[in-house]
A = this chain, B = another copy of it.
Amino acid sequence: MAVRRLAILGTGLIGASIGLAAKRAGVPTVTGWDLDPEASALAAARGAIDAAAATLPAAVAGADLVVVCAPVGALAEQVALALAGSGEETTVTDVGSTKTAVCAAGAGSERFIGGHPMAGGEARGPAHAKAELFDGATWFLTPTAATPPERYRLLHGFVGDLGATPVAVDPASHDRLVALTSHLPHALANLLVNQAGATRIEGHEPLAAAGGSLRDMTRVAGSNPRLWTEIFLQNRDAVLESLREHRRLVEQLEAALVADDAGFLAGWIGEASVNRRRLLERAFPDPGALQRLSIHLPDRPGAFAEITQALGAERINIEDLELHHHSVERGGQLELIVAGETEARRAAEIVRGQGYDAVVLPVLEAL
Contacts and interface: CB of A to CB of B under 8 A. Distances in A.
Given A123-B359, A177-B209, 10 more contacts: A191-B253, A194-B268, A208-B282, A215-B280, A216-B216, A222-B272, A225-B270, A233-B265, A300-B317, A304-B318
B190 A269 contact: yes
Contact of A207 (B266, B275, B304, B331): B275
Contacts of A301: 311-312, 315-318
B194 A249 contact: yes
Interface residues of A, number: 144
A4 interface: no
Interface in A244-277: 244-247, 249-251, 253-254, 257-258, 260, 262, 265-266, 268-277
A221 interface: yes
A173 interface: yes
A320 B239 CA distance: 32
A229 B247 CA distance: 21
A279 B214 contact: yes
Interface stretch (A57-65, A78-86, A131-139, A154-162): A131-139
- What copy number does this chain have within its complex? 2
Interface stretch (A29-37, A88-96, A98-106, A322-330): A322-330
Which A-B residue pairs are the 9 nearest by beta carbons? Answer: A222-B273, A305-B312, A197-B275, A136-B327, A302-B312, A222-B272, A136-B330, A225-B269, A190-B272
A185 B270 CA distance: 17
25 contacts: A121-B333, A122-B294, A123-B361, A128-B361, A132-B330, A169-B204, A173-B202, A184-B195, A185-B213, A185-B216, A190-B268, A191-B250, A197-B274, A215-B279, A217-B219, A218-B275, A222-B269, A226-B266, A229-B262, A240-B258, A250-B250, A301-B318, A319-B325, A320-B323, A322-B323
Given A318-B304, A361-B122, A130 B296 contact: yes
A309 interface: yes
A19 interface: no
Nearest to A172: B202
Interface in A188-234: 188-197, 199, 201-202, 204-211, 213-226, 228-229, 232-233
A345 interface: no
A308 interface: yes
A296 B131 CA distance: 10
Contact of A321 (B209, B311, B321, B365): B321
A353 interface: no
A315 to B, nearest CB: 5
Main secondary structure of the interface of A (DSSP, over half): helix
Contacts of A176: 201
A285 interface: yes
A110 interface: no
A310 B305 CA distance: 8
B302 A305 contact: no
A222 B182 contact: no
A272 B193 contact: yes
A347 to B, nearest CB: 11
A23 interface: no
A223 B302 CA distance: 33
A123 B302 CA distance: 26
A281 to B, nearest CB: 8
